[in-house]
Amino acid sequence: MTIPKLQSYMLPDVQDMPVNKVNWFFQPERAALLIHDMQDYFVRFWDENCPMIKQVIVNIATLRQYCKEHDIPVYYTAQPGKQPEEDRALLNDMWGPGLTNYPEQQKIVDQLAPDVGDTVLVKWRYSAFHRSPLEKMLKDSGRNQLIITGVYAHIGCMTTATDAFMRDIKPFMVADALADFSREEHLMALRYVAGRSGRVVMTKELSPTLFPDSKEALRALILQLLDGSDEPQDDENLIDYGLDSIRMMNLAARWKRIQGDIDFIMLVKRPTIDAWWKLLSRSRVDKL
């Protein structure tokens, strides 16, 4: 009835990413970060030295730091240590008493402990929106994108993504900042969201090195954004390989925060890796 002892597995990588039905581009000024149920109780079902959950925590911390640097609000969900029978209700049938038997494990894991100014929401059901002010808080602050991280991918995270979609909030499920009972269930959750209720991304897609430090880093970043499996040569037109104007605008916005003279027009005039690297390296030299 309770959650089983969980085993480590290989986190999804770029080649595991499902095909997204939508191509929403990430807008930091419209986004919020959700760190979902990263409480000691839920994390301790993995071994203390589990490399997979350690990496998930690192990836969430990376996203959180990015959000702090870009004035993106950070929300947490956390089940209460005490849950009256009438509040827990059917969860008892499915999972037993759960956290109520271990109230000392209620806190968020130390590596992700909330800062002053972060919002911790009381969690009652799978969706972070259930019996919480999350929707109102997002809309009152002009946010309509929700970055979803945490545990468990195929339960609360997937349900929250779908609930967000039904409230006209765009969910971004971060494939390598989630953990689950198994790799199969993890991938199932990604496929479901990508095809029905949101966009699935990688940590480095949302918080990349904003200014690539080499042509190889630039190439790796661009390959993540292309739809097909073919890889362009450095002098080939990226538009021919599926790089659309929305993604180019997103890149321009990211790079403009580091180098103010870069804009969308400059990128679209010569959409090749060679040209962009020349532009980026020129800008770096000029700035120095």
36 is catalytic: yes
Region class of 119: left (phi > 0), else alpha (psi between -120 and 50), else beta: beta
Task: Report the SS3 class of residue 175.
Answer: strand
- CATH number of the 215-287 domain: 1.10.1200.10
pLDDT of amino acid 44 = 93
Predicted pLDDT of residue 1 = 58
Residue 140 catalytic?
A: no
Q: Which residues of the chain have pLDDT under 50?
A: 283-288
What would the pLDDT profile of 239-258 be if each residue is shown by its tens digit?
Answer: 999 898 888 988 887 777 66
Q: Tokens 């002098």 appear where?
A: 235
The yes-or-no answer on residue 123 being catalytic is: yes
Closest CA to 283 of 267, 266, 259: 259
Convert the pLDDT of each residue in 192-226 to its tens digit: 999 999 999 999 888 755 567 778 878 888 887 88
Q: E strands along the chain, which residues?
A: 31-36, 74-78, 119-122, 145-151, 170-179, 199-201
**The dihedral formed by the CA atoms of 113, 115, 117 and 120, expressed in degrees to the nearest 10:** 10
Amino acid of residue 67? C
At 258 the pLDDT is 62
- Fold for domain 14-206? Rossmann fold (3.40.50)
Note the residue count of the chain.
288
* CA-based nearest residue to 215, from 152, 284, 150: 284
* Catalytic one of 5, 13, 37, 93: 37
CA 200 to each of CA 209, 224, 284: distance values in angstroms, whole numbers, following the listed order: 19, 12, 32
Q: Which of 5, 16, 36, 163 is catalytic?
A: 36
If we measure between CA atoms, which residue out of 98, 30, 101, 35 comes closest to residue 65?
A: 35
pTM of the model: 0.75
Measuring CA to CA, which residue among 131, 102, 83 is closest to residue 2?
102
- Catalytic option among 87, 118, 123, 286: 123
How far, in Å, CA of 37 to CA of 107, rounded? Answer: 10
| Tens-place pLDDT, residues 44-64 | 999 989 999 999 999 999 899
Can you give the residue ranges of every domain in the chain? 14-206, 215-287
